[in-house]
Structure 1
Amino acid sequence: MRLDGVLRSKHVVLAAALAFPAGIALAAPPASSDVEGGWPAWRGPSRTGSAPAGNPPIEWSETKNVRWKKAVPGLGLSSPIVWGDRLYLTTAVPTGEKVANPRSAGRRDGIPPDQVLSYEVHALNRADGSTEWKRTVRTEAPHGSTHPDGTWASGSPVTDGEVLIAFFGSQGLYAFDLDGTELWRRDFGDMRTRLGFGEGSSPALHGDRVYVIWDHEDESFMVALDKNTGEEIWRRDRDEMTAWTTPLVVEHGGRTQVITSATNRVRAYDADTGEPIWQATGMTLNAIPSPVYSDGVVYLTSGFRGSKLLAVRLDGAEADVTGTEQVVWSVDRDTPYVPSPLLHEGVIYFTKSNNGILSAFDAGTGEALYANQRLGAVRNVYASPVGVGDRVYFASRDGEFLVAKAGPTFEVLAENELDDRFDASPAIVGDEIYLRGRRNLYCIATP
């Protein structure tokens, strides 16, 4: 049955009524240590964009509710993460050393590198933004191009309070302790991305393992590594083209699975062995948004040259679930291209492509609560929305922000502006919001 772009299976009534028994389905990310840690991955402790608690400001400007503002060297679209009293981020800093004979960009290609970069991991003090430590992991020219809006440090770090994992794609995967001691490093070779648009997938960390997607125009694969040693545990080949999504680790029915979103197929792997569990029809071309999960259902989206959202119930999912009762509802219009969706207090929020046009759906039933709601001055969006309590936060590439009331009706609470451009996604920890701009990192908090 179809209604306003929503495709519902005949089992949607059952999905709406499901009350999952305790222990049958549990999202792996929101472990107690993650919640205590603050914002350990770029989509937060639950990997949904939702903060477990807090009361950050709804109003700010360059002169209001800015606790501190710190210039960030180089360029990076990676989102900041937080554990304890430190904030961690990655960046690629131009050294001034020119690349010999740089190639010219084609009409539709990415931007080729013209100088050597210093690939860096920074740890900052949350109280004042001061640098506690900095590590340069590699100094070299990038092997390939990046998107005109991209950078060579677009994958976000992740931590569990024991190790910090930083991923620079073709420039390597690195593990540190939280005081900056390097534990190990891995080099997977060089990616060849579609149209030279660069790299941007972030790693996932769960238990004692790190999970990395390596989807590009050559031989793609998924790999699981020991977080303490970097030793490869399993690897699975993937028939995929370039994607920029982050894997999602979910515990369900006593089994941990790694869920991946990509153009050819959506896939779930056994986290221990890498064996396939289930799969479904793929997303659109240029898959970028990362999946989110709650209450036994995983939500997958993409929105380039088409629109797609699938809500897949994990209970009973095996083999190919395309067209089965496992796909409890779906959407075929107005889904996001770059931003990932926000799943907050039973509602899934997403923008139309990269535009400031918002839709909100009941996550359980697939009912459209509202659609095509314009977000005021927030018009061009790469950053993913975040939520806490009764509010949802949106950032634009042009430095405009909108805070809306969470829930079934749209209501603007505040509109704000900062003197920077914002492509990285916000992080919320308690009463603070961290916003990474192209030039500066802001801590937004009341005095």
Structure 2
Amino acid sequence: MRSYLLALAFVSLPCVPATADWPGFRGRGDGVSKEASLPTTWSETENIAWAVDLPGYGQSAPCVWKGTVYLTAVEGANREKGFIVALDATTGKEKWRHTFEPTQKAAWGYTISRAAPTPLADDAGVYAFFEGGNLIALTPDGQFRWERSLVKEFGEIKGGHGLGSSPCQTTDTLFVLIDQPGPSYLLAVDKATGKDRWKAEREKRMSWASPVVATRDSKVEIVVSSGGSVAGYDPAKGDVLWELKGLSGNTLPSASVLGDTVLVGAGAGRGMAAEPKAPVKSNCCLTLTTENGKPSYKVAWSAATATASYATPIAHRGQAYFVNATGLLFGLDLATGKELYSERLPALCWASPIAAGEYVYFFCKNGATVVVKAGAEYEVAATNRLWDPKATAPKPAPAAEKSDKGPGPSGEYMDPIVYGVAAADGSFFVRTGTKLYRVGKK
């Protein structure tokens, strides 16, 4: 009877309209751009429309909606100040800036998040979530709509590396995932009022992955790959529709959707020495199905050697692409999982790849971007750099000094680092900790 009721509750909620804008993390959850004229070549002196300095420091990707780029950042030794910034996409000029005091403050570091969750945008404005627990909605011109503190409502957000999960959205609802050593949950929030629609309790786990909106038979569900399992949730009620357990290493990459196909990425992670093959088996492809009128899934394949350590995998034009912790790119057949090739990129990728037309773009941490032609063979169309790596080599950090540039694990300043990218208006918007570049037409 419960399964029957779950099937009845699985209703269709409208997605955000499909446009060439980039409304959130990985666009709409698939990392695929509808842009027809994205650039394929650039350098630190060519094909850069503008580059602007940003306040504070941020690890979130930009989102772009109707000519405005939205970003988040934090400032201070303990992240005492937070920012939501809106820039004109054409000129890079700042339109407005919203400043607030985060509820939960904590020291930052090279491996501790600083404004890591990516904001969301729609016609009503921007929605931004911060690791300090603040969830804020503003109008397109920066006017206050509503704000709430999940820390005050549900308790302190725990975990030594902060919070990295970005919200996802339908036309009327935000979905926020908190997976941590403390109380974990998936929260549905009404976009108009900021009030809860539902709250689904989850088992304690440590993860920085983000929920994503998937579609099955024209019906929407929320897919969460995080900390040992991947599950589908009813967006209207918060009930678990299906769940695959027994995974490992899926703590950083998010699920990647393409229609009814779901790619699950996982890295080796900590504690995997006893099960060296587990992360590989956890890199898999699911097909969303309906069995006896109930939502379900099938495991289409598991990868033989490919892993995805930081960047979320991507599916495009019949292939799947995974990048591991050392920057090794795996190209797989999307239908069968057969490995077509593995090739070394100039560096590992923290930003997730973007696909558009005949190309897939891999944005390396060190500012290099490899443009690969989509297909069964590895063919590089171009390799581009945003800066000269020799000119930005890490330098020793002054003793006993902290900076929003952040000392690395060896006491070095690690910036610049490419954290996230958006594709819109014929350009890429590439974000480092303190800077935003528009790559493409002026």
Given that 1:204 and 1:210 are in contact with CA atoms closer than 8 Å, whether structure 2 keeps it comes out as: yes
For residues 225-273 of structure 1, the C-alpha deviation after alignment (integer angstroms, 9 at most, x for no partner) is 1110011111111013121111112232354311111123211111101
**SS at structure 1 position matched to 2:284:** strand
2:332 and 2:158 mapped to 1: Cα distance?
33
The corresponding residue for 2:242 is 278
The corresponding residue for 1:395 is 363
Structure 1 residues 250 and 146: alpha-carbon distance in aligned structure 2, compared to 1, 3 A threshold: same
- Matched ranges for 1:77-226 at <5 A: 77-94=59-76, 114-138=77-101, 142-146=104-108, 148-189=110-151, 190-194=155-159, 196-226=160-190
The corresponding residue for 1:62 is 44
Structure 1 residues 341 and 247: alpha-carbon distance in aligned structure 2, compared to 1, 3 A threshold: same
The corresponding residue for 2:394 is none
- Matched ranges for 1:302-321 at <5 A: 302-303=266-267, 304=269, 305=272, 306-307=279-280, 308-316=282-290
Given that 2:79 and 2:114 are in contact with CA atoms closer than 8 Å, whether structure 1 keeps it comes out as: no
Shift of 1:332: 5.1
Given that 1:290 and 1:301 are in contact with CA atoms closer than 8 Å, whether structure 2 keeps it comes out as: yes
- Matched ranges for 1:359-378 at <5 A: 359-370=330-341, 372-375=342-345, 378=346
**2:19 corresponds to 1:35:** yes
Given that 1:34 and 1:160 are in contact with CA atoms closer than 8 Å, whether structure 2 keeps it comes out as: no
**2:431 corresponds to 1:436:** yes
2:173 and 2:433 mapped to 1: Cα distance?
32
The corresponding residue for 2:421 is 426
Given that 1:223 and 1:236 are in contact with CA atoms closer than 8 Å, whether structure 2 keeps it comes out as: yes
Shift of 1:81: 0.6
1:314 and 1:279 mapped to 2: Cα distance?
11
**SS at structure 1 position matched to 2:438:** strand
Which one of 377, 381, 389 corresponds to residue 413 of structure 1?
381
Given that 1:283 and 1:301 are in contact with CA atoms closer than 8 Å, whether structure 2 keeps it comes out as: no
1:300 and 1:318 mapped to 2: Cα distance?
25
Shift of 1:360: 1.4
1:73 and 1:339 mapped to 2: Cα distance?
25
Structure 1 residues 213 and 240: alpha-carbon distance in aligned structure 2, compared to 1, 3 A threshold: same
The corresponding residue for 1:355 is 326
5+ residue gaps, structure 1, are 1-25, 95-113
Structure 1 residues 251 and 417: alpha-carbon distance in aligned structure 2, compared to 1, 3 A threshold: closer
2:109 and 2:225 mapped to 1: Cα distance?
21
**2:216 corresponds to 1:252:** yes
Shift of 1:286: 6.0
The corresponding residue for 2:313 is 341
**SS at structure 2 position matched to 1:316:** strand
2:219 and 2:383 mapped to 1: Cα distance?
43
Kindly, what percent of the aligned residue pairs are identical?
29
Given that 1:123 and 1:132 are in contact with CA atoms closer than 8 Å, whether structure 2 keeps it comes out as: yes
The corresponding residue for 2:397 is none
For residues 191-212 of structure 1, the C-alpha deviation after alignment (integer angstroms, 9 at most, x for no partner) is 4444x11111011110211111
Structure 1 residues 317 and 215: alpha-carbon distance in aligned structure 2, compared to 1, 3 A threshold: farther
5+ residue gaps, structure 2, are 1-11, 273-278, 388-414
Given that 1:266 and 1:280 are in contact with CA atoms closer than 8 Å, whether structure 2 keeps it comes out as: yes
Structure 1 residues 348 and 159: alpha-carbon distance in aligned structure 2, compared to 1, 3 A threshold: same
Structure 1 residues 209 and 350: alpha-carbon distance in aligned structure 2, compared to 1, 3 A threshold: same
The corresponding residue for 1:266 is 230
**SS at structure 1 position matched to 2:206:** coil
1:212 and 1:202 mapped to 2: Cα distance?
7
2:211 and 2:297 mapped to 1: Cα distance?
24
**SS at structure 1 position matched to 2:420:** coil
Shift of 1:64: 0.6
Given that 2:427 and 2:440 are in contact with CA atoms closer than 8 Å, whether structure 1 keeps it comes out as: yes
Given that 1:71 and 1:441 are in contact with CA atoms closer than 8 Å, whether structure 2 keeps it comes out as: yes
2:248 and 2:105 mapped to 1: Cα distance?
27
Given that 2:256 and 2:313 are in contact with CA atoms closer than 8 Å, whether structure 1 keeps it comes out as: yes
For residues 379-410 of structure 1, the C-alpha deviation after alignment (integer angstroms, 9 at most, x for no partner) is 23211111111112112222222111121111
Structure 1 residues 27 and 41: alpha-carbon distance in aligned structure 2, compared to 1, 3 A threshold: farther
Shift of 1:319: 12
Q: CA RMSD in A?
A: 2.5
- AA matched with 1:86: T
Mean Cα displacement is larger for which, 293-302 or 125-134?
Answer: 293-302
Given that 2:179 and 2:206 are in contact with CA atoms closer than 8 Å, whether structure 1 keeps it comes out as: yes
1:320 and 1:351 mapped to 2: Cα distance?
34
Given that 2:361 and 2:371 are in contact with CA atoms closer than 8 Å, whether structure 1 keeps it comes out as: yes
2:262 and 2:66 mapped to 1: Cα distance?
29
- AA matched with 1:39: W
**SS at structure 2 position matched to 1:185:** strand
Given that 2:187 and 2:199 are in contact with CA atoms closer than 8 Å, whether structure 1 keeps it comes out as: yes
2:439 and 2:418 mapped to 1: Cα distance?
17
- AA matched with 1:186: R
TM-score by length of 1: 0.81
1:318 and 1:309 mapped to 2: Cα distance?
28
- AA matched with 1:425: G
1:335 and 1:318 mapped to 2: Cα distance?
33
